[in-house]
Amino acid sequence: MADPGREAVALLTGPRMGPVLEQVLRPAGLDADRWTLRRVHHRPGVGASAIFDVAALDGRRRVAEVVCVSTTAPPREAVGHAGGPLLVEHEGLALTAWRHPHDPWLPGLPWATSPEAVGRTAFDSAVAAELTAVSYRPTRRAVQRATHDAGVRYLKVLRRGRAAALHGRLRMLLDAGLPVPAPAGEPVQEVVVLHELPGAPLAGAVRDDGAAALRPEHVLALLEALPAAAAELPRRPSWTDRVLDYGHAAAVALPEERQRAERLAAAVEDARRATDPGPPVPVHGDLYEANLLVGPAGRGRFGPLTGLLDVDSVGPGHRVDDLACLVAHVAVLPTVSDRYGHAPATAERLLAGFDDVVDPAALRVRCAGVALSLVAGARRSGGPPDRARRRLEIAERFLAAVA
């Protein structure tokens, strides 16, 4: 039986996307000359999306375009008007395609990518802001950094109907004393505008000295400060709750290791069900080094931690899943760059400290699940198979360490 996810990724990452890109650009009077795949995102059971950098021709003038293509059907309200997405069937697959920034799921992205509009609205100024893309996941979300004489803001672009909820969540966490970004006014076109926090991502400290100033108790204090009211928010499955899906994604990304990845996912799922995750508590939901900021000096109960980012997933869950998310992400940092030579020791130090507050077997099982969820991501930007395979090996080691 054909695998839709594997077929979609094969098409989006292969050499046959030219006709789709040409169709997207044709209404603007542009011809696709050359194109390269920047990144592909595969969400098992949801769909796959790809970002293409296109060198296009406007008559004799060469222009740079970004075109996105997804296997997901667009929201109904985004279809049928000028500038809306192109719906096309290509090689048996129904595709949704658009020119960036006109993502049909993210209505605020055109505003958030307009220096003039951001200058006027976010800074109340006739002077345009300087914008830098921090991240973009087609159909899901984007983050822009806006720099202006009046300061720095971060623009979090969300799907329809989600900005108000995030705004309220940030206010709740600020009231609880957590170091989360403060909203700069009300949301604008489903974009939450945020003040900048002090500090730098934890990854830099791991690279420099293994994040020597960060102790397990600092992370635990941060999580303990999550307010009880967060337990009333909608619950989202943890990374390990969906380990079978991520095992499938790993098999798609590493077809030569398909059986190995799927066997590991099944073993993690069995072990997850057999271990005790502890009581339900408020959790962050995506606690890893990019979402933790650290400063140069340790102060107070959070030590060097100066910021907690990306709180969209805050809600009820299990503490062990937050801790496993952090440990597993740190453990795979050497697959990103050789500069993270301290990372394995850092992961072991955190793991040992977290063993005192959660079941050690449950922790390692969930570390294995998170590491497995990161295998497919190692191939999204065309990375070498060895990087993904090393992450698979790390997941196997975590599971093998379960007592």
**Alpha carbons 33 and 22: distance in angstroms, whole number:** 9
Which residue is associated with the tokens 């979300």? 141
**Average pLDDT score over residue span 121-140:** 97
On the question of pLDDT at 382 being above 60, the answer is no
Question: What pLDDT shows up at residue 8?
Answer: 87
Q: Are 144 and 113 in contact (CB under 8 A)?
A: yes
Structure tokens at 71: 């296997």
Q: Which of 251-260, 331-340, 383-392 has the lowest mean pLDDT?
A: 383-392
Report yes or no: 373 and 272 within 8 Å, Cβ to Cβ: no
**In degrees rounded to 5, what are phi and psi of residue 101?**
-100, 25
Mean pLDDT for the stretch of residues 88-110: 95
Which 3 state secondary structure label does DSSP give 365? Answer: helix
| pLDDT, mean over the chain | 94
Residue 101 preceded by cis peptide, ω within 30: yes
Tens digits of residue pLDDT in 342-369 = 999 999 999 999 999 999 999 999 999 9
Residue 370 reports pLDDT greater than 60: yes
Yes or no: say if 213 and 205 are a contact pair by the CB < 8 Å rule. yes
Q: What is the pLDDT of residues 285-314, one digit of tens each?
A: 999 999 999 998 667 899 999 999 999 999
**250 is written with which tokens?**
């790993």
Question: By percentage, how much of the chain surpasses pLDDT 70?
Answer: 97
On the question of pLDDT at 232 being above 70, the answer is yes
Residues recorded for the chain: 403
Provide the pLDDT confidence category of residue 3 given band limits of 50, 70 and 90.
Answer: low
Residues ≥6 apart with Cβ < 8 Å to 377:
none
Structure tokens at 9: 């990724």
